[in-house]
Amino acid sequence: MGSADVVRDGPAKAFMLCNEAIVRGAIEADVKVVSAYPGSPTTEILDTFSDVKPNFDYKMEISSNEKVALETCAGAAMVGHRSISSMKSVGMNVASDSFFSLSYTGVKAGMVIVMADDPQAHSSQTEQDGRAFGPNAYVPMLEPSDPAEAKKMVKRAFELSEKYGVPVLMRTTTRVNHQSGIVELEKIDRKPFEKLDWSHAPARFTTVADTARRFKLQLLERTKQLEEEFNSSDLNLVKDTGSEIGIVTSGAGYNYAVDAARILGINPSILKLGTTFPLPRKLIGDFIKKVKTVIIVEELSPYLELHVTAIAKDANPSVKILGKWTGHFSEAFEYNPNIVVDAFAKALGLKAPVDYEAMMAKADELKKGLSDRPPTFCPGCPHRATLWALLQATKGTKHILSTDIGCYSMSFLQPLNYGDSMLSMGACMGVAAGMQYAAKEKVVAMVGDSTFYHAALPGLVNAIHHNDDFTLIILDNEVTAMTGQQPNPGSDYNAGGQPAKKMVLEDVIRGMGITDITIIDPYQAKAVVQPIKEALSRKGPNIIISRRACALYADRNKRRRGEAILSNKVDKEVCKKPYTCIRSFNCPAISIDDDDRKATISKELCDRCDVCAKLCPFGSIKLREGE
């Protein structure tokens, strides 16, 4: 599993992560332009494309946001080159303005958009169900269940896109993206990259007034043709066992349903939908005509349940449909085989082999004796030091912190419990603008460098234009750290490690008209408290830039240069057990020694940011030498 298999010529078999299989499928389909913004659970798609870029001639951008990524791919596909973009579902919110218009104008070459939902909100603000994007935009939508199917669907998506002149949406979920399995590698047969002539009449891809109305009629006809094709598509699977019980499902739900049926020893008929827009209504109707009970297995909203219920009105009015509306499944959270086993057992009057609810209740009871282990900043993370300094600077004063999406989002969690709002990428700016109008307290906004370039720039323009009174803190750590240290416009490299023009934050901000800019090094935590205080005391809009590279990124670069990563230790002779390093700083590299109850520092975790040493009132933290 890894980049070596992605570039290996076929025919062969490989054990691959689904996100890697998606990349492999696109490479086999001769994709020529790749543009994306990182976001779990699709980040590995971007990373894999970047890692294997030296082996192929496709053009690639790690874009400033998802909207730009989608537009870049759209432009290439309009000219005539196959393109692919990937994003999580909240990223599709950002791209949706152009996405809806692109459905009208269409494309010339194949264009695929991989969009991943995140049931259970593992790494997202919400459990948004992105399946609404397909039908709302009249864009065909495919949904794989495993890596092999994902690779096949990517290649088919390019073909469908070119056949119908429309981008194709491939919807995944976290458990599909991060699933691994055996994938058939076919021969890589790629044509050399070359620029193409623009072969279109003027205004071919513009949509306004009369052209918009004409495009609408065309997309309706296109959708009708797609449905006819999907009714007989091999991307859908029908398993007709002759049972009176039928399962209708898609994506990860299919995997859970198959496991649940095996555990319960039942053999229902199954319709697995790989084409989830336009839905193959005839195929669904023919399936439900043969059964007396249909169980719908789908995470998040009752998308399939709604449409199956509507189709049943004509196809089989007496069929019993069980799903979310009957209380057998929840619209919240991620499923697993145990949840589906319980739902099947209740629906069919069977005894489940394990009482899953009782088991989970017992697990919850046992967990009561365990300490909470909330996510935390990495050892050496500059955000921890920035937040410590900010809390010292604001001690005893009332203020509101409007924060944003990034590693610093963990400030809401224990032990800091610090922050008052967080909505979406870049939203801290607009929210802070509203807060400074309405609240008596000082308003502070906080955003990371990648998020600043992604979506906060318009908010800063707005704040400058309206002379809004708040202070913006920008955490400049050189990369998009939260998703794995991908580059952003403030980095000096791009996809594949290629050199790129680095944007300098203070230059960008000065160019917008702000001169009140304070630049601090968070590793000098005590020394920067006063400059932060002074900046907060001034009328906004003004800026504090906290500049220090992501600790993991800095360590990675040290290893590449052959430099040693140093660490600190606690001098037990000097330590008086004030626990300042633990109570005040909460670094996971620092713990309490069970033997003497003094602080101890993990050699393996510490990367010697030295902030704890500066905070220790007795100077007991020193460089670890000769160990």
Q: What is the pLDDT of residues 245-289, one digit of tens each?
A: 999 999 999 999 999 999 999 999 999 999 999 999 999 999 999
pLDDT for 1 equals 58
Average pLDDT value for residue range 16-31: 98
pLDDT interval class at 368 (50, 70, 90): confident
Average pLDDT value for residue range 281-309: 98
Q: What is the pLDDT of residues 439-467, one digit of tens each?
A: 999 999 999 999 999 999 999 999 999 99
Q: In this structure, which amino acid lies at residue 251? A: G
Q: What are phi and psi of 50, to 5 degrees?
A: -70, -40
Is residue 388's pLDDT more than 70?
yes
Q: In this structure, which amino acid lies at residue 393? A: A
Average pLDDT value for residue range 2-13: 93
pLDDT interval class at 15 (50, 70, 90): very high
Is residue 429's pLDDT more than 80?
yes
Q: Which of 263, 415, 419, 409 is nearest to 342 (CA)?
A: 263
Contact 60, 50 (CB under 8 A): yes
Q: Which residues contact 555 (CB under 8 A, 6 or more apart)?
A: 380, 565, 607
Mean of the per-residue pLDDT values of the chain = 95
pTM of the model: 0.93
Q: Is 491 exposed, middle or buried (0-12, 13-18, 19+ CB in 10 A)?
A: buried
pLDDT for 360 equals 86
Q: According to CATH, where is 3.40.50.970 located in the chain?
A: 3-189+205-230, 382-555
DSSP run (H or E) holding 421 = none
CA distances (Å), 76 to each of 37, 56, 83, 107, 511, in order? 17, 17, 7, 9, 31
Q: Which of 278, 299, 277, 295 is nearest to 287 (CA)?
A: 295
Pairing of strands 168-173, 111-117: parallel
For residues 437 and 67, give the distance between their C-alpha atoms in angstroms, rounded to a whole number: 30
pLDDT for 462 equals 96
Q: Which residues contact 83 (CB under 8 A, 6 or more apart)?
A: 31, 32, 33, 34, 35, 72, 73, 74, 76, 77, 109, 110, 111, 112
pLDDT for 373 equals 80
pLDDT for 372 equals 78
Contact 300, 253 (CB under 8 A): no
The partner residues of 472 in beta bridges, in order of sequence, read 445, 543
- Which residue's entry shows tokens 């990524």? 69
Q: According to CATH, where is 3.30.70.20 located in the chain?
A: 566-623
Q: According to CATH, where is 3.40.50.920 located in the chain?
A: 237-367
pLDDT for 363 equals 87
Q: Which residues contact 493 (CB under 8 A, 6 or more apart)?
A: 487, 499, 500
State in words which class domain 382-555 has. Answer: alpha beta
pLDDT for 359 equals 87
pLDDT interval class at 23 (50, 70, 90): very high
Range in 92-101, 280-289, 481-490 the model is least confident about? 481-490
Is residue 423's pLDDT more than 80?
yes
pLDDT interval class at 6 (50, 70, 90): very high
Average pLDDT value for residue range 91-110: 97
State in words which class domain 3-189+205-230 has. Answer: alpha beta
Average pLDDT value for residue range 397-402: 96
pLDDT for 519 equals 98
Q: What is the pLDDT of residues 316-346, one digit of tens each?
A: 999 999 999 999 999 999 999 999 999 999 9
The topology under which CATH files domain 566-623 is Alpha-Beta Plaits (3.30.70)
pLDDT for 580 equals 87
Q: Which of 249, 238, 245 is nearest to 308 (CA)?
A: 249
pLDDT for 2 equals 74
Encoding tokens for residue 287?
């399936």
The two most distant CA atoms of the chain are separated, in Å, by 83
The CATH code that applies to domain 237-367 is: 3.40.50.920
Is pLDDT larger for residue 372 or for residue 140?
A: 140
Contact 134, 275 (CB under 8 A): no
pLDDT interval class at 366 (50, 70, 90): confident
Is residue 244's pLDDT more than 80?
yes
pLDDT for 369 equals 79
The partner residues of 294 in beta bridges, in order of sequence, read 246, 321
pLDDT for 627 equals 58
Q: What is the pLDDT of residues 515-542, one digit of tens each?
A: 999 999 999 999 999 999 999 999 999 9
Q: What is the pLDDT of residues 24-39, one digit of tens each?
A: 999 999 999 999 999 9
